[in-house]
Structure 1
Amino acid sequence: MNTPVTPEQQAEIDNLRESPRQTLRVISEGMEQHLYTAHPVLDHGFVRVVDYMGDDAAICQAARVSYGRGTKSVQNDEGLIRYLMRHWHSTPFEMCEVKLHVKLPVFVARQWIRHRTANVNEYSARYSILDREFYIPAPENLAAQSSVNKQGRSEVLEGDEAARVLDLLRQDAMRSYDHYEDMLSQDGQQGLARELARMNLPANIYTQWYWKVDLHNLFHFLRLRADAHAQYEIRAYADALCDIVADWVPAAFGAFRDYRMDAVSLSAGAVSVLKRRLAGETVAQEDSGMSMREWREFQEIWG
């Protein structure tokens, strides 16, 4: 695996980490350990924390609308955070923010950008030339199309078929980048403008951006993208972010895990079926009021 950061970026990171500054603002000791550290994701990608604001106490402070940390104990703060999460009181979580530097394949970025409740500034291929870096899946992540889920994968490709697909991915990526370079203005040729030459590049080329988001909307992102049903590539980034957030706001992340990530949401029909089952009734899909797909999802959880 190649190093995910350039020598220039690593020099900047090293310089920043070696020059700590005193501050009067509240800090999170867990998050301080992540500042400016590039956490590798996929083959060439990374996530790193550039800046952040707030901690668990900031959530409670906003909920109580008080000054400072007050007289409440850590245990009381955790109880309040769990109450806020349990009852969907989201505004206090918006008091915490994080700014991330992310390097990711373009096709992952196009999924990611659908979360519009954030501030984004992306590396511009209109002004700069993109690096020759492409996401090539590891063999264990090459899978056929699912026959029951139009958005999902099925069995992992093996042997000659896996090798054939990997060769095509590499060849197409390299060929398109060769043509990209050929189209740019160089060697005395007039060439094509960068903003036009980039249109020939594949969706697995890497881009970079700064992404700033509050904790409430970051939790929404993680609930969807760290889910087992999410596409593996974006889930890899979400999993890395989960580790960071758990160190940043441990009480809030614990509540989020319990009441969002690992929780189950029930429809009125599902509640009715559960009550009937608890009363000793045998309930089949035909008299449940659920569609076949709803029933299958219900059975996956409740049997």
Structure 2
Amino acid sequence: MPLSPEQQAEIDTLRAAPQPTLRAVSPGLEAHLYTAHQVLDHGFVRVIDYMGDDAAICQAARVSYGKGTKSVQNDEGLIRYLMRHWHSTPFEMCELKLHVKLPVFVARQWIRHRTANVNEYSARYSIMDREFYIPAPEQMAAQSVVNNQGRGEALQGEEAARVLEILKTDSMRAYDHYEEMIGQDGQQGLARELARMNLPTNIYTQWYWKVDLHNLFHFLRLRADAHAQYEIRVYADAICNIVADWVPFAYKAFEDYRLGSVTMSAQMVDCMRRMLKGEAVTQESSGMSAREWREFQDVIEKS
């Protein structure tokens, strides 16, 4: 596993000294505490702490101190209602703190979600590890010809081998120079905060990331989507598995009303109605651009 010996020792110590608590506990998430779920070649996601559960969402919505006469079925129905009608505040009552190890270029995408608290490993004070993300062969793809920010077909044969060798060689060479610059064998060396500028963005960093459930769902809706970049999507998928165990009612509602739903424009809805009435609608008569029409066709084919 990509955990360091020091991190594993910390986990072992914490697991050896469980504490009683009066706070809300999620049995599903308790099983995930401190467990490192491996992602990519050297990365991981692990739960450090959390607050709240499905019941906490309902408690906030009802502003009550207990379940009262409400049943579990009523809780699930309430959560689905809140999700369906975009009542987000009750979901903000739950929080999750994760320890994530990820490539820097993935972190730069991730940090665009600004509604979270982040503390990242500092290369000003510490020396970065010699760990780089090298894509698996099936992930080394050419540029998409229809999407400027997406991938096309996987590279094959000699071209794939050539690109893979470049990635490995450049990563190792950059780290060799990084080590040389920060000083060895009594040399004064360059300051770490300057030497780090030469490192590639596929080097791994780490951070603690704390977010409330509403904003976490927003992150997952975008990053667990099939159109998201693979390298961040696999982290989102790992977090989805964790959240499903933490707040099963809320996650099922999120799956149904966010992940598994589609958004349609007014023109798309109009075209759908016309089609249901038997009208033959074309892109020219739809009022949509060629790209919008293509997206609409994708929605219809997947429905």
TM-score bracket, normalised by the shorter chain, equals over 0.9
Report deviation, 1:95: 0.3
Partners of 2:265 and 2:52 in 1: how far apart? 35
1:1-303 mapped onto 2 (5 Å cutoff):
3-303=1-301
* Structure 2 segments unaligned to the other structure (5+ residues): none
Report deviation, 1:181: 0.2
Report deviation, 1:167: 0.5
List per-residue Cα deviations over 1:159-210 (Å, max 9, x = no partner).
1111111100000000000000000032121110000000000000000000
In the alignment, residue 95 of structure 1 is paired with which amino acid? M
**Fraction of identical pairs, as percent:** 79
Deviates more, 1:179-188 or 1:251-260: 179-188
In the alignment, residue 175 of structure 2 is paired with which amino acid? Y
Deviates more, 1:49-58 or 1:155-164: 155-164
Report deviation, 1:68: 2.2
Partners of 2:261 and 2:280 in 1: how far apart? 25
Report deviation, 1:96: 0.2
Partners of 1:280 and 1:48 in 2: how far apart? 52
List per-residue Cα deviations over 1:214-265 (Å, max 9, x = no partner).
0000000000000000000000100000000000000000000000001011
Partners of 1:38 and 1:31 in 2: how far apart? 13
List per-residue Cα deviations over 1:63-118 (Å, max 9, x = no partner).
00001232211100000000000000000000000000000000000000000000
SS of 2:6's partner is: helix
Partners of 1:10 and 1:192 in 2: how far apart? 32
In the alignment, residue 243 of structure 1 is paired with which amino acid? N
SS of 1:62's partner is: helix
SS of 2:148's partner is: coil
Q: TM-score, normalised by structure 1?
A: 0.98
In the alignment, residue 230 of structure 1 is paired with which amino acid? A
Report deviation, 1:14: 1.4
RMSD: 0.7
Partners of 2:17 and 2:162 in 1: how far apart? 49
Partners of 1:106 and 1:232 in 2: how far apart? 14
Query: How many aligned residue pairs are there?
Result: 301
Q: TM-score, normalised by structure 2?
A: 0.98
* Structure 1 segments unaligned to the other structure (5+ residues): none
Report deviation, 1:29: 0.3
In the alignment, residue 177 of structure 1 is paired with which amino acid? Y
Partners of 1:14 and 1:247 in 2: how far apart? 22
Partners of 2:247 and 2:107 in 1: how far apart? 25
Partners of 1:69 and 1:151 in 2: how far apart? 48
SS of 2:24's partner is: coil
Report deviation, 1:266: 1.0
In the alignment, residue 71 of structure 2 is paired with which amino acid? S
